[in-house]
Amino acid sequence: MTWSTADIPDLTGKLALVTGATSGLGYETALELLRHGADVLVAARNPDKAAQAAETLTQKAGRAPTVLELDLADLASVEKAADEVITSYDRLDLLINNAGVMAPPYRETVDGFELQIGTNHLGHFALTGRLMPLLVNGSRVVTVSSFMHKTVRGISKADLRPPAGSYRKWELYGKSKLANLLFMLELDRRARAAGADLLSVGAHPGYAATHLQAAGPELAGNLRQARLAAATTRLVAQSAAAGAWPSLYAATYPDLRPGSFVGPGFFEYRGTPKVVLPTRTAQDAGLAKELWDWSVEATGVDPALTVPR
């Protein structure tokens, strides 16, 4: 199969929200959606970076996005951002849960959860749940995971708040990415069971050159390691633009089946996107239901699927 961004259909009249859109995959995703006619909300934690990204997106796409302030590591910020969207719009055609943190030193969210689980999974779970009233009549939710979900064999409720002394950054990153897939597939199961007109799909970028690889060492104050990570990534990884292809394919391909997971075609490392398989653990419906219940308890948000009349 061949596919490129030229195959993205006309998105005029569609509204999309992309988290983590100030750089990397989110930026490239927002750029292509704008170029193909969509109205795009770029959701980001840092207002200055968001304004700068919006300016360059406008220059490149010829159309301006709307900035939405959102800190996924703060559930109050998630609620405020979702309320703003619900107040301003009557539907949301594309929700792309893209933002994430990778392998930082031990940190907690505002609400006391481990930063990676709290940002990558719980923040997006709460955002999706609060935006559910707008996700109707064929809306898509694209949840961005990673091939690192293959490195772990499970997740437990204790992983939401692990003791700092037992923290293993790469293990928790893998579990956060496993959580993304468990959530995506459980949302798909619940949508189909309820008869809701909602398509829940997933994507992963393979190995793409973004700032994510250097962000962890930067948080730890290890600038030498951050520079090395950035240099290595530039040498061996595909571009952020190519890394965004699976997300864009998942967001726009007309005949994508519910619950599909899209990744790069060349050994899931790089190249043209295609549908790939999550691990058996990611497809464990029992574990997915447990994670859903833990997430409802943790966030206070219970996503209610809207059934068409």
If residue 95 lies in a helix (H) or strand (E), which one and from where to where? strand 94-97
Strands 39-44, 139-144: pairing kind? unpaired
The neighbouring-strand residues paired with 6 are none
Closest CA to 257 of 275, 239, 269: 275
DSSP summary character for residue 119 = I
Contact 95, 135 (CB under 8 A): yes
Collapse the DSSP code of 221 into the 3-class scheme (helix H, G, I; strand E, B; otherwise coil) and give the result.
coil
- What region, left, alpha or beta, does residue 192 occupy, with left being phi > 0 and alpha being psi -120 to 50 degrees? alpha
CB 116 within 8 A of CB 168: no
Neighbouring residues of 280: CB distance < 8 A, sequence distance ≥ 6: none
- Catalytic residue ranges: 145, 173, 177
- Fill in the DSSP letter of residue 220: T
Rounded to 5°, the CA angle 200-136-255 comes to 45
Report the distance separating Cα 277 and Cα 202, nearest Å.
Answer: 11
- Helix or strand holding residue 200 (H, E): strand 198-203
Q: What is the spatial distance between Cα 277 and Cα 181, in angstroms, rounded to a whole number?
A: 11
Cα 49 to Cα 24: distance, rounded to the nearest angstrom: 12
3-state helix, strand, coil in the chain (%, to 5): 50, 15, 35
